């Protein structure tokens, strides 16, 4: 967001911080120390204007002076920079049966984490009550309070209407459909809440922490279900209803009339997900029931298991070849429990994507294992929350007085 002098916000009162404070902060959000003179040069604003806006940021602790090493050539010019621990964010990855929560500072350094078995099918109130209790435990552990939390990023295993933070017909989350997650949480923690699908936030985490310079990335999760998150032009693409990247129910040639739990037949998920691979191996006489059993069998070099995983990779590759034509990613990464089968799944994916895509699209295409691994979603949830916390809207919430805060929350 670029600040221009015309951008006067009439909701601000005389007691409000000077207009442009949160916009000035956008220059400092990268954490690089700068002098007042440098900020004046970067913005074209008068030194006196810079001073007033910086004071507002320093008052709330978001920006502070940087200790400069003593030099022999006289006093160095004073620099200011973002104070990473001025406020905190909460990251939460809520799975079907597993919850992870972290409290991080404003540069995504994790200060404390907690993992527990949860049952998301128990409904929103028990799950979110557990989340609030866990947040309190973690804050106590790091000696901070709920007042220090500026944003909460949460991933859930189902579709979400991102703009309202309400799950939308999530198949494995009974009782959550349309539930006002931000509204409920704000009754306990006065922070901005961002709820998203777990694969979307995993894509964000994968990009932020595994491939920071990559603007076109596809993250594919292969576990009980199959889904993907799309980062294009550096932005997460959710689509009109938040279902962009939902590749699990695309038809693949090998699936024929195999029934899928979605009610359709021939879906990718019906032949290439963890349960589908286990089912295929049971049909060959192997005692496998879970993704873990499949991995165990692969690790014991059981040829049927290796073949089944590689074939699942080819099926996924068939769908990904279309995705490559559509969004032209430079990196595709695969995460989720089945990717613990090592290179076999990747080999199948590569085999089909490279042979079915146009050479120009695959000339520099990297297909790799997830770098963020099992914490991709947690890191993405933190990135989502920090993205808000440091945005003009998030900073406004901190520097505006109480009446202004009511207008932006
Ligand atoms: Zn389906």
Q: Are residues 140 and 185 in the same domain?
A: yes
224, 365: one domain:
yes
Total domains in the chain come to 3
Q: Looking at the structure, tell me whether residues 219 and 351 fall in a common domain.
A: yes
Tell me the CA–centroid distance for residue 268 and ligand 1, in Å: 7
> Are 249 and 357 in the same domain?
yes
> 72 and 155, same structural domain?
no
CA 226 to centroid of ligand 1, rounded, Å: 10
The fraction of the chain above a pLDDT of 70, given in percent, is 91
75 with 92, same domain?
Answer: no
Query: What is the secondary structure of 277-334 as a DSSP string?
Result: HHHHHHHTT----SHHHHHHHHHTT-HHHHHHHHHHHHHHHHHHHHHHHHH--SEEEE
- Give the distance from CA 297 to its chain's centroid: 32
Q: Which residues of the chain have pLDDT under 50?
A: 1-15, 402-409
Has residue 207 been placed in a domain? no
Residues 246 and 366 placed together within one structural domain of the fold: yes
End position of a domain, from candidates 35, 55, 82: 82
Q: Which CATH number goes with the domain that contains 54?
A: 1.10.10.10
Residue 38 lies in a domain: yes
Rounded Cα distance, 355 and 321, in Å: 9
State the distance from the centre of ligand 1 to the C-alpha of 149, rounded, in angstroms: 39
Q: Order of strands across the sheet with 34-35?
A: 34-35, 79-82, 63-66
pLDDT attached to residue 67: 76
Tell me whether residue 251 is in a domain: yes
Rounded CA gap, 138 and 85, in Å? 15
3-state secondary structure 34-78: EEHHHHHHHHCCCHHHHHHHHHHHHHCCCEEEECCCCCCCCCCCC
Does 403 map to a domain? no
Residue 302 lies in a domain: yes
- DSSP SS3 for 238: coil
CA of 158 to the centre of ligand 1 (A): 14
Residues 292 and 219 in one domain: yes
* DSSP-derived 3-state class of residue 11: coil
Ligand 1 centre distance from Cα of residue 378 (Å): 27
Protein residues near ligand 1, an ion, with CB under 5 A? 249, 260, 262, 264, 267
> How far, in Å, CA of 259 to CA of 316, rounded?
17
Residues 169 and 296 in one domain: no
Q: Which range marks the domain in which residue 270 is found?
A: 212-370
- Residue 20 is encoded by which pair of tokens? 């442009």
Residues 70 and 98 in one domain: no
- Is residue 13 assigned to a domain? no
Rounded to an integer, what distance in angstroms lies between the CA atom of residue 310 and that of residue 360? 25
Instruction: Round to whole Å and give the CA distance between 216 and 160.
Output: 23
368 vs 226: CA distance, rounded Å:
17
Q: Separation of 365 CA from ligand 1 center, angstroms? A: 28
Give the separation between CA 343 and CA 355, rounded to whole angstroms.
18
Ligand 1: distance of its center to the CA of 6 in Å?
Answer: 51
pTM (2 decimals)?
A: 0.86
Residue 286 lies in a domain: yes
Tokens standing for residue 304: 């049927």
Q: How many CA atoms lie within 13 A of 140 on its CB side?
A: 7
Domain harbouring 224, CATH code: 3.30.420.40
CA of 278 to the centre of ligand 1 (A): 17
Calculate how far, in angstroms, residue 263's C-alpha sits from the geometric centre of ligand 1: 6
- 355 shares a domain with 232: yes
Q: Ligand 1 center to residue 225 CA distance, Å? A: 10
What is the distance in A from the centroid of ligand 1 to the CA of 221? 16
* The pLDDT value given to residue 68: 64
Q: Is 32 helix (H, G, I), strand (E, B) or coil?
A: coil
The verdict on residue 65 lying in a domain is yes
Distance 294 CA to ligand 1 centre (A): 21
Same domain, 93 and 185: yes
Ligand 1 mean position, distance from CA 271 (Å): 10
- How far is ligand 1, taken at its centre, from the CA of residue 281, in Å? 20
């Amino acid at each position: 967001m670029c600040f221009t002098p015309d951008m006067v916000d009439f909701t601000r009162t005389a007691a409000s911080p000077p207009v442009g404070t949160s916009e000035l902060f956008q220059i400092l959000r990268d954490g690089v120390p700068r002098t007042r003179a440098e900020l004046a040069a970067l913005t074209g604003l008068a030194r006196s204007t810079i001073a007033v806006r910086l004071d507002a940021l320093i008052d709330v602790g978001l920006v502070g002076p940087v200790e400069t090493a003593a030099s022999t050539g006289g006093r160095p010019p004073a620099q200011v920079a973002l104070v990473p621990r001025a406020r905190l964010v909460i990251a939460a990855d809520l799975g079907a049966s597993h919850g992870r929560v972290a409290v991080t500072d404003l540069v995504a350094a994790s200060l404390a984490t907690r993992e527990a078995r949860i049952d998301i099918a128990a409904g929103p109130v028990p799950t979110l009550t557990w989340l609030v209790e866990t947040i309190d435990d973690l804050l106590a552990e790091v000696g901070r309070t709920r007042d220090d939390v500026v944003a909460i990023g949460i991933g859930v295993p189902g579709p979400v209407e991102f703009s309202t933070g309400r799950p939308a017909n999530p198949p494995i989350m009974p009782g959550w459909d349309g539930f006002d997650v931000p509204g409920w949480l704000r009754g306990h923690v006065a922070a901005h809440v961002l709820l998203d699908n777990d694969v979307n936030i995993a894509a964000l985490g994968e990009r932020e922490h595994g491939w920071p310079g990559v603007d076109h990335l596809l993250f594919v999760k292969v576990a009980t279900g199959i889904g993907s998150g799309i980062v294009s032009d550096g932005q997460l693409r959710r689509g009109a209803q938040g279902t962009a990247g939902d590749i699990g129910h695309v038809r693949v040639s090998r699936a024929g009339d195999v029934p899928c739990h979605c009610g359709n037949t021939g879906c990718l998920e019906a032949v290439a997900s963890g349960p589908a691979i286990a089912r295929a191996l049971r049909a060959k006489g192997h005692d496998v029931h879970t993704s873990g059993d499949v991995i165990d069998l692969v690790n014991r070099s059981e040829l049927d298991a290796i073949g089944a995983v590689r074939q699942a990779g080819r099926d996924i590759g068939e769908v990904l070849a279309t995705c490559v034509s559509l969004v032209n990613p430079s990196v595709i990464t695969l995460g989720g429990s089945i990717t613990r089968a090592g290179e076999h799944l990747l080999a199948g994916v590569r085999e089909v994507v490279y042979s079915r895509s146009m050479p120009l699209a695959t000339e520099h295409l990297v297909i790799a294992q997830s770098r963020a691994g099992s914490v991709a979603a947690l890191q993405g949830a933190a990135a989502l929350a920090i993205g808000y916390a440091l945005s003009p809207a998030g900073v406004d919430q901190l520097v505006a007085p109480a009446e202004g805060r009511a207008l932006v929350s």
